Structure 1
Amino acid sequence: MPIPPKTMPTADHSAAPDAITGPDFRAWLDREALALGFDRLRIADTDLGLAPERLRAWLAAGYHGEMGYMERHAALRSSPELLQPGTLRVVCVSMNYAPDLDIDAEWKRIASPGEAVISVYARGRDYHKVLRQRLQDLATRIEARIGPFGYRVFTDSAPLMEVELAQKAGLGWRGKHTLLLNRESGSVFFLGEILLDLPLPVDAPIEPHCGTCSACIDVCPTAAITAPYVVDARRCISYLTIENPGLIPLEFRAAMGNRVYGCDDCQLACPWNKFAQATALPDFAERNGMGGSSLLELWSWTASDFERRHEGSAIRRIGYIRWRRNLAVAMGNALRSEKTTPALKAVLRDALQEAQGAADALVQEHIDWALEAPFLA
């Protein structure tokens, strides 16, 4: 849950504007952000320009799928001031999350049907917890320096158009896959925000550098990037494996391959991620073999194993049933793959058959589909 807004009266900073608008304060703010583990800090105002109009068109097209909260909170997304009354500025920060992005190794795992592929961002500690506390620490340090002010911190935890704000602030430019990109870190970073009532000087946006490149569009397994800067979430493997609560549509199951939580293909194909910087934060170090587990190993987990091993992880929020659903699809794809040895196919089939009797109805449907694969001894 987001940290609630401050309820104390805000201070009057108008008598000493240099205290918050001069270069000394900004330099101090940048240093504090770096000390707390953020990689960059930029500041934007609250004018979102044409972004709310584009959001309404995206929702009208139904691209949000089962994410009803996107539509319910569309007005809030369009006006940061509604989330935190009195907001004048948005402090936007980024934090790199990959301990070491080995792009070749990631593609190799995706091409190995018996392996389980987890999106890089989810292999460590839940980023909501990491960023939120550090954002709160930054706000507390600001308060200690200048006195009380009104603020609220967020990290993917409220209806806020954070990529649009981060782009406006100059943290990067929006890539054709809709993620934020910059020259130093590619797209392998998280975003966080502090909405505050201080009239801080704003930063300028930076020029986009995608040019004519369409690598992210071309590589998408399900053609979810329907046009530059437009993603149909209903086709996106990240949506299908995480946000989608029900059946994986038949038309997308083969394309999922062995991706059981999220999908990084558009990021792996992006030339800018060759420059991704490794994080120094231990919070994002890989946990429980999430970068190197087999489908069979993860399928063997009980519900209690899932809860225990994913404690403190973003993966835990999808629950055991969706986890098993995703694994069943990946195992079915392994059974259909010419790269899978007959011996492994036999073991995969046995594991799926053993689970049939006690499987949840949702999982059972995907097991049945998986077992429809021809058996090659």
Structure 2
Amino acid sequence: MADIFAKQLSPVMRTMTGPGPRPLYQAVEGRNGEALTGGARVVMAACNDYLGLADDPRVSEAAVRAVQRYGTSCSGSRLIGGTLPLHEELERAVAAFLGQEAAIVTTTGCQANLALSPLFGRGDVVFGDMANHASLVDAVQAGRAGSRRYRHCDMGHLERQLAAADGEAAKVIITDGLFSAEGDLCPLPELVGLARRHDARLVIDGAHDIGLLGAGGRGVAEHFGLMDEVDLYTGTFSKCFGSIGGFLAGPAEVIHFLRYTARSVLFTASMPPASAAAAVAALKIIASEPERRMRVFEVARRVRNGLRELGFDTGESLTPIVPVHIGDTGLCGRMWQAVLDEGVFTSVMVAPGVAEGHALIRLALQATHTDDHIARILEAFATAGRRLGAATAGAR
């Protein structure tokens, strides 16, 4: 008899989760670019707190004050009993920051993307980059629209798909602003042009770029000077904002519609008071301290250039997400473990997170990384690479 519990991890995941030290699900205590894990002090290069705000005393103090006033939980959804003045303050601040009419905050960034699904009705067509975050893929699947996925940043492929769908009910293009695996940017100017020529809406997931890119930290749209050309934003407070939670920002009528139709808003407890207060405080710091963005890009430049000098392939990224392309899954897993053994905690990405044969180690760099941290990261890769021959294996 078939047993629903008989399912097994893939061979790759069994290798990654087998006996011995593994970075997956390993408890870490981190602060200011370092972490304690497995009894060892390591450089933390797998944390998406790009601006280092999760440790900023002003952000922490705001969270503490919120707990003292409101407690630790709202114990209800935003719809009934779970909305605090803090949520409304944060929504106004996010909308103003992004120049939008309205915003709604959610409990996680993943839930912000899932909240898009009511927009995707029967007969509509959604066009998504093949490298989009899994939560965007899930949002499309949860809706009733047709789904067309275009090759990563391939505008010719997207244009052919849009042209084939002209005349259908409604179209929308959804894409990450800054892609989380390889650190590259969506080609927003081309996307805007295609969206307008084919009467499609444009939705940008700014999870990794809002707070980081642009003169004011408003993300990829500000970076390209196209703030008025994006129809709807989603994002998260778990990266640059040093907190947890998500948001959608756009036209007031659209946000109002989603408040009363999005299951991930209606059927989950609201963003905790501490997280909302932390995000409010972080947004003020992001707007007033551009030097944090300057520092993290300087750290990334030095690490990226150092890795290239060692013979590693770091792809096209010019952001604080630095991929180290290894290729072979087994070699990538061994390299990942060897780098940890040398005192640097990183992330690994294998299929299906990336294409088969394109396994990579992902570094997420922070404004709080010091010159010593940079040196330790490069030394760890140099030592591990020499031992395993990984640098030349990843060269393109």
TM-score higher than 0.5: no
Which of 1 and 2 has greater Rg?
Answer: 1
Q: Name the TM-score, length of structure 2 as normaliser.
A: 0.26
Q: Name the TM-score, length of structure 1 as normaliser.
A: 0.27
Higher strand share: 2
